[in-house]
Structure formats: structure tokens, C-alpha cells
Structure 1
Amino acid sequence: MKLILKKAKVLDASSQYHKQTVDIKITKGIIEDIAPEITQNDYQNIEFDNLHISNGWIDTSVCFGEPGFEDAETLLNGLNTAAKSGFTQVAIQPNTKPITDNQAQIEFIKNRSLHHLVEAFPIGALTKKSEGLDLADLYDMKNAGAVAFGDYNCSIANANIMKIALQYVQDFNGLVIAFSQEDSLKGKGVVNEGVAATHLGLKGIPSLAEEIAIARNLFLLEYTGGKLHIPTISTQKSVKLIQEAKAKGLHVTCSVSVHHLTLTDEKLSDFNTNTKVLPPLRTEQDRLALLEAVKDNTIDCITTDHHPVNIEYKNLEFDLAHFGTIGLESAFGALNKVLTLECIIEKLTFGRTILGKQKSSIKQGNLANMTLFNPNTSWVFDTKNIISKSKNAIFINEPMQGEVYGVINNNKISLNNNERK
């Protein structure tokens, strides 16, 4: 690789070139030089309108299906989708078939994604088959490359199992991911319990179902110590609970999805099953509280919670349709409407800290791990913008602000066509 990025505005608070427009020379995947202008004939010049660059983005929650659900998504196409969407690293959920609950399954994902531009970080299931009954082989999975342990969109009903997990992983500095939902309160609910659900005649999931589970898990964390990550919080009260836990000094982090920051349960009005997500879209009051929590760092990172679902599981009555939306392709364009660029980049890169991965920085001598983008273009998200095999996108027909040009990582580059018609 021999590249020169021309007239790139750097957005990296850890770099001396932060907010400067410079040329960047990259040789064999290493940042060799940064200067106001660089010219070298045997190098490929990369030029885009209003080019901005940041450290490569990481998504802490994606589902890629393989093995077992290749009809919904494959690892290779999922990683390609992540690259085209601006992500250089992704943490892959264990909801495969079989469930990723052992060393062999972790090694399968690592080997299948080896040498790709996008680095794949497998999340191991916390319990065997994600059934919530017995702990999975956590230590073996850690040694094989698992970055954390959690059962995707499954709450652990047995408090003792969660307690033992938090205690056990401390022996090898492991991270427990606790999707928080009290299933007995969720019942047969499919959307947020509120005015929208009543108008539509749909069974509601109360905010309390999330909040009581978070409160329990935080009490357990206070008792055991260790590290806990709470993914995709969705309510105002959840924010307050995590604020209080952090004030106590508990080692807890949390994420929020792009769609919970940008959409509300008013989006449900046409019974579009692509809006059926877990946790459900909440109220405007909740959305605004989540945005404030992102800004004041109560919420540590933003995820797409990318979850491809085949059309036969979405093209059903709302009650019967599966939960989930894809979100990689629309992430930046949606976030750029509600948050500042600096905040977006911070929250799309902080996942490395949560998962214990090395931070990157745009400095001479460092590996080039970068996202290239333009924050100023306006467009409407359409099916033609979907790279995923499944098309269950919650943001179809939504206006977007800003677009991704491509990514550089692992001595490779992926650039987008970026022709929007």
C-alpha cells in the first residue's frame, strides 16, 4: 500500500494534527508522514470533496449469522458491509447456530475473518446455548480470542448465575455483557408500553422491564466487583441508574443504539415490522435523555446493534415478526443529524477501551486505522444503499446527513462509489 490522502481534515483529539487539514502519506499500512502538502509520483493520491478522517470506528454489537444463518448474513459480506459503512472493527454477537459458546466456535469466527480489512472480535455466549442455565466455557473462549461474554438479547433470569459469572471472570480480567430485561414484565409485549402501543392495539413492554433488570445487575456488580457492560439501554430511568452506579465507582459501561437516539415509538404508526426492535423504540422524553447521557459520558459508546433478519421473518403480522434491524449502512448519516462530529467519533471509537483493545491515533509511525467521510452531504436512505443480504432497515426513507468515503486498516483500503441517485 502506497497512498497519500490529500487535503484531509483530521478529527482526532489525541493527535497534534487535530482539526488541521493536511496530506497523509501511508506506506505498507503505516503513517509515514503528515504535512501541509506531500507529493510523491509513485504513490496513489486519494482525493475527495471535503474529506474528513478520524480513527477507525468500532461497533460493539453486530450479528452476522454465520455459522447457521448464512441466508440472513455471512461473515464476509457482514465485514464488507462494516467497511463500506466506516467501521474497521466489529464485535460479533454469539447468536449463531450453534451458539458461539465454546473455543471451537470462537476460533471459527477468528479464522474465517482472518486478514480482512475489518477486524472481527467475537463475543462468547455467557451461558451454554444462551439458555441462562449454566455458564459456558468462558476461560477457554477468552484464550481463543473472545473479547467479552453475553447472551445476545437474552436476560439472565437466575441472579446467582450472573453473580457467579461476575466473580469468575475476574480471574482473567473478563467482561460480562448483561442485556437487561425482566422477561416476566415483558411478557408478550412487542413495542413500548405507551400511547402509541394503545393506539395501535399492540402489547406493550414497560420501561420497568429494563430498569428493574439493570438495577438488579448493578446490585450484583456492587456485591461482586468485576466489569459489567450493559448494552442498548433505552429509558430515562436506566440512564439515572447507571449514573448512580458510576458515581459509586462501579466498573460499569453501557451503550445505546443509533435508532434509540434518533427515532421514537411514533415511528410505529404504519405497522412496519422493521421498527420492531429490542429494546423497543421508546418516547421522545427517553430519546432526549439518552442524547444528554451520550453528551455527558454516562453512555460510553454508540452501537448500530446491526441484526439482519430474513424477509420471511419480517413479512408477518407485527406480533409474530422477529425483532431486529440492520444499522451499519445508516449509522453515520443518522447520528450526524443529532450529535456533533466530535461526539460521534468519540462514541464510535470508545468501544476499544471497553473491549480492552489498543487505541489508535493519527500520528507518524502508527498503523493507519482510519475512517474517511464527508459530514456535509444530504441524502435519503434507500434500499439501494443496503449492502447487507437482509434488507430489514429501520431507516428506509429517512433523511441522512453525511456519508462515508471508505476505510483504511490492516494495510488495506476500501473506498465507496458514493453516487447517490
Structure 2
Amino acid sequence: MSILLRSAHIIHSESAFNGLTRDVLIENGLIRQIADRIDAPDHAQVVELPNLHLSAGWVDMRVSTGDPGFEQKEDLTSACRAAVAGGFTDIAVLPNTRPVVDSKDTLGYVRRMAEGQPVAVHPIAAITKGAKGEDFTDMIDLHHAGAVAFSDGEHPLQNADLLLKTLQYLRPLGGLLMNRPEETGLTRFGQMHEGVQSTLLGLKGMPAMAEELMVARDLRLLAYVLGEAGTTEADTLPVLHFSCLSTAKSVELIRQAKEQGLPVSCDVAAHQLVFDDTALAGFDTFLKVNPPFRSRADVEALWAGLADGTIDAIVSDHSPQDDESKQVEFDHAEFGMTGLETVFGALMSHNPGLPLGQLIAALTTGPRRVLRLPTATIAEGEPATLTLFDPSGTWTFDRSVSKSKNSPFLGQTLTGRVLGTVRGGKLWR
């Protein structure tokens, strides 16, 4: 099957065609030709849309699916449909299912369910059995069985010795440890960011220090491991990855670590770049997330971290919750919002001036490098793993294809429209 993309404006910093408008012909899953004008082959599927932009396929490093065990919230099929709607060709899924992805059996289940899906699904395996933070999983077996990284996902690692030994264990494998930094002893019963707004609303706060202490701790442990074993060529790739940064101090700590040459990376959830803690004035449970929305100064620091390359990737932190988990009093509501379908629209609608190329890099080259995924290049002869979008197009998010509907963007008109994806020789919309 042939697909012809007419007059596509290419956004890909590693492509010789970056910034140019070209026709792109795709045949049998490969980019066959890129030229000013290409005659459409017989029976080709022609895509000719106003302001068509083209990039390498977008990668989401942090997705919760609930499959297996919580399929009433989301299963892999519905998550993949939501990913396509959001412009993603690849998603990395967290291990917090029932049972937890902590063995080759459960990892194999995820891989089997991912077969034939419109997006590539990359399972993240748990560091500890049941993601309970107690006993190690068999990470060597899980690594060879296809785990793209290791994390306890929604459960931050509290035990410093566990994190230290995990770093020591994974480095010889070339593996990646992902951790969401939170000192849970400081956030117990917390509902939102600790500050003026939490005081006004009468809600228990979650201090920024709870995140920053863990970032500092984990960086010290990483430095200790490297000092003990010495750096190797493998350490040019990140060994430790921080998920869902939310504070200015966290960004600064990682900026300093990178300047010192530590093999570390980090991401930020798209919604953290949009909302601050004042958004919770209406007690909307769809805005209750962890880490919580911080101050406006923190939001500005996150954008600055993207601009200078401190933050490597943008994620959806897609956390589907059913009505029973959200349609309750704020104190009793579960954390999390769906995000796969709205990442690009949310970012473009609130972008303070970050160049489009840098924003796209945080959805493409950044996460691919961190996860050690094959490079996706827009060049003749390369596999066609692509995202089609209109950065200035407007659309109304009036219907979600996710099983859960806990998105604060439902009903809103957003700027930045996904037009489709190309993967496996097919056009997905």
C-alpha cells in the first residue's frame, strides 16, 4: 500500500529536510521518496491537508493502562486508540496493573496484547515484587524478555538502599531506572501543592520539598555508584530518569547534575506546563494529580528547563480513573487525569514561546534516546513512523476514545491539532 503526503512541512532536527515543505511517498512501510512534487502511484492513499506538518512519530514515556486487572478504567486497546488520537506512535506503559508487571508471565501478557495495535507498546517492568518497595524482581530476566525500563511506577522508591542496588544492578545491563521523586512521609494525606492556595482552600498541602529531597538523594546515590565503579561508554546514555518533575528546584538540581556529566534525564507531564495551583479553586477533582500543580514560578521554570534542554521529554502521565474514583468529594478522589489525546493541544494552547522544533524534539528524539528506542529519521529508505499535525489548527475536545473521561480539557477548544499517524505502512486517524 502506498501513502502520499502532499506538501508536508517537515519538523525534525536530525533530518536533512528539516524546515522544508516536500511531498513524501511511503511504500511498504518505508519512506520511498521525498521530493518537491511526486506523482501519485495507482491506488495510493493521498493526504492533502492545509498546513500539514510532519515529524517523526511521537513517544509517550508514561502511560497507565490498567490492563490487566483494571480494564474498567482502561485496557491496552482503548489506550492505543487514545494514543493514536493524540499523535503517538509509541507508548511506554507503567507496571502498576493487577497483577503487577514483575515477572516474565505478566510482561509476556502485555507484549501479546500489544500485537497488532496501531502503536508500539513498550512495557516498563517493576523494580520490586508487586511494586511494594521490598524485594527485587528478576531484572535480568525481565530485561531480556523485553522490558524497556524499570520502575515501580506510581509508587516512588523510598528505600535508598533499594535504589542504590538497582543502579548497580542495571548499569552492566545498560538498563534504565525510572523513579518519580516523592518523599511520601511528607505528602501523606496531602491533596494539593502546599502554599497560599492550599491554606485558602483548607486542603492539606504536599510540599515542594518532598520532591526536591528525593531528587537530591537520588542524584547523590547515582554519583556514588559512578564513583565506585567508574564511568563507562554506556554512561553516555541516561542511567537514572526522573519522571514528572514539578518544581523549579528539581529542574535546577538536574541542570547542575547534567553540567557535572552525570548520566541522568527527566521528563515533565504536559498538564504541569498548563496549570498552577490556583486552578484548584473550584475543587475540580479532574485537576487532582500527583505531583500536584505547583506555583506559577514553578511552571515558568519547567518551560525554561525545556528551552535549555534540561528536561528531555514531555509525557502525558495518562492516568485513567472511572467515575467512582473521581465523582466524589475532593479529599476522597483518586489522583490522575487522562492525557494521551490532549498533550499537543494543551502544549500549543499554552506555549509561552518555545520554538515548535524544540517542543517536537521533546516528543520524539528526547524520549527515544532515554528509552534506547531505534532512531526515527525522516529520510528516504527509512521506516515510516510519523506523526501528522497542524500546529495552528483549532479543535474541540468533545469526545474521548479513552474508557475513562477524567480530563479537564473535555469541552474545551484547543490549538494544535493532530491529523494522524503513519506506522506499519498504514495511515491511522
TM-score, normalised via structure 2 length: 0.94
**2:302 pairs with 1:301:** no
1:50 match: 51
**Contact 2:266/2:311, CA 8 A, preserved across alignment:** yes
Q: How much has 1:397 moved relative to structure 2?
A: 4.3
- Give matches, 1:329-348, under 5 Å: 329-337=341-349, 338=351, 339-348=354-363
Q: How much has 1:380 moved relative to structure 2?
A: 4.1
**Contact 2:123/2:147, CA 8 A, preserved across alignment:** yes
- Give matches, 1:152-231, under 5 Å: 152-225=153-226, 227-231=239-243
Bigger drift between 122-131 and 337-346 goes to 337-346
Q: Distance in 1 between matches of 2:146 and 2:139?
A: 11
2:288 match: 276
2:230 match: none
Bigger drift between 319-328 and 40-49 goes to 40-49
Q: How much has 1:134 moved relative to structure 2?
A: 1.1
**Contact 2:26/2:425, CA 8 A, preserved across alignment:** no
Q: Deviations over 1:10-29 (max 9, x none)?
A: 11121121111111111111
Q: How much has 1:399 moved relative to structure 2?
A: 4.1
Q: Distance in 1 between matches of 2:138 and 2:47?
A: 46
Q: How much has 1:200 moved relative to structure 2?
A: 0.9
Q: How much has 1:116 moved relative to structure 2?
A: 2.1
2:13 match: 13
Letter aligned with residue 7 of structure 1? S
Q: How much has 1:141 moved relative to structure 2?
A: 0.9
Q: What SS does structure 2 have at the residue aligned with 1:289?
A: helix
Q: Deviations over 1:226-247 (max 9, x none)?
A: 6100000000110111111111
**2:408 pairs with 1:394:** yes
- Give matches, 1:21-420, under 5 Å: 21-42=21-42, 43-225=44-226, 227-337=239-349, 338=351, 339-349=354-364, 350-382=366-398, 384=399, 386-415=400-429
Q: Distance in 2 between matches of 1:139 and 1:238?
A: 31
**Contact 1:117/1:413, CA 8 A, preserved across alignment:** no
Q: Distance in 2 between matches of 1:41 and 1:329?
A: 33
Bigger drift between 230-239 and 132-141 goes to 132-141
Q: How much has 1:179 moved relative to structure 2?
A: 1.3
Q: Distance in 1 between matches of 2:274 and 2:240?
A: 26
Q: How much has 1:316 moved relative to structure 2?
A: 1.1
Distance 1:197 1:35, change over 3 A: same
Q: Distance in 2 between matches of 1:233 and 1:124?
A: 21
Q: Distance in 2 between matches of 1:198 and 1:167?
A: 42
Q: Unpaired runs of 5+ in structure 1?
A: 416-421
Q: What SS does structure 2 have at the residue aligned with 1:109?
A: helix
Q: What SS does structure 2 have at the residue aligned with 1:254?
A: strand
Q: Unpaired runs of 5+ in structure 2?
A: 227-234
Q: What SS does structure 1 have at the residue aligned with 2:299?
A: helix
Q: Distance in 2 between matches of 1:40 and 1:175?
A: 44
Aligned-pair identity (%): 40
Q: Distance in 1 between matches of 2:413 and 2:202?
A: 28
Letter aligned with residue 92 of structure 2? A
Q: Distance in 1 between matches of 2:395 and 2:76?
A: 28
Letter aligned with residue 288 of structure 2? K
**2:3 pairs with 1:3:** yes
Q: How much has 1:40 moved relative to structure 2?
A: 2.8
**Contact 1:153/1:278, CA 8 A, preserved across alignment:** no
Q: Distance in 2 between matches of 1:93 and 1:298?
A: 23
Q: Deviations over 1:292-328 (max 9, x none)?
A: 0000001111001011011101111111111100011
Q: How much has 1:171 moved relative to structure 2?
A: 2.1
Q: How much has 1:407 moved relative to structure 2?
A: 0.1
**Contact 1:122/1:147, CA 8 A, preserved across alignment:** yes
Q: Deviations over 1:356-404 (max 9, x none)?
A: 111111110000010001111224433x2x1100000132344411100
**Contact 1:336/1:344, CA 8 A, preserved across alignment:** no
**Contact 1:200/1:269, CA 8 A, preserved across alignment:** yes
Bigger drift between 9-18 and 95-104 goes to 9-18
Q: What SS does structure 1 have at the residue aligned with 2:32?
A: strand
Q: Deviations over 1:239-297 (max 9, x none)?
A: 11111111111111000000111111111011110111010001100000000000000
Letter aligned with residue 376 of structure 1? S
Letter aligned with residue 427 of structure 2? I
Q: What SS does structure 2 have at the residue aligned with 1:348?
A: coil
Q: What SS does structure 2 have at the residue aligned with 1:377?
A: strand
1:419 match: none
C-alpha root-mean-square deviation of aligned residues, in Å? 1.1
Q: Distance in 2 between matches of 1:176 and 1:89?
A: 19
**Contact 2:126/2:150, CA 8 A, preserved across alignment:** yes
Letter aligned with residue 424 of structure 2? N
Distance 1:380 1:116, change over 3 A: closer
**Contact 1:116/1:410, CA 8 A, preserved across alignment:** no
2:231 match: none
Aligned residue-pair number: 413
Q: How much has 1:117 moved relative to structure 2?
A: 2.4
Q: Distance in 2 between matches of 1:34 and 1:182?
A: 51
Letter aligned with residue 324 of structure 2? E
Q: What SS does structure 1 have at the residue aligned with 2:332?
A: coil
Q: Distance in 2 between matches of 1:91 and 1:411?
A: 21
Q: What SS does structure 2 have at the residue aligned with 1:395?
A: coil
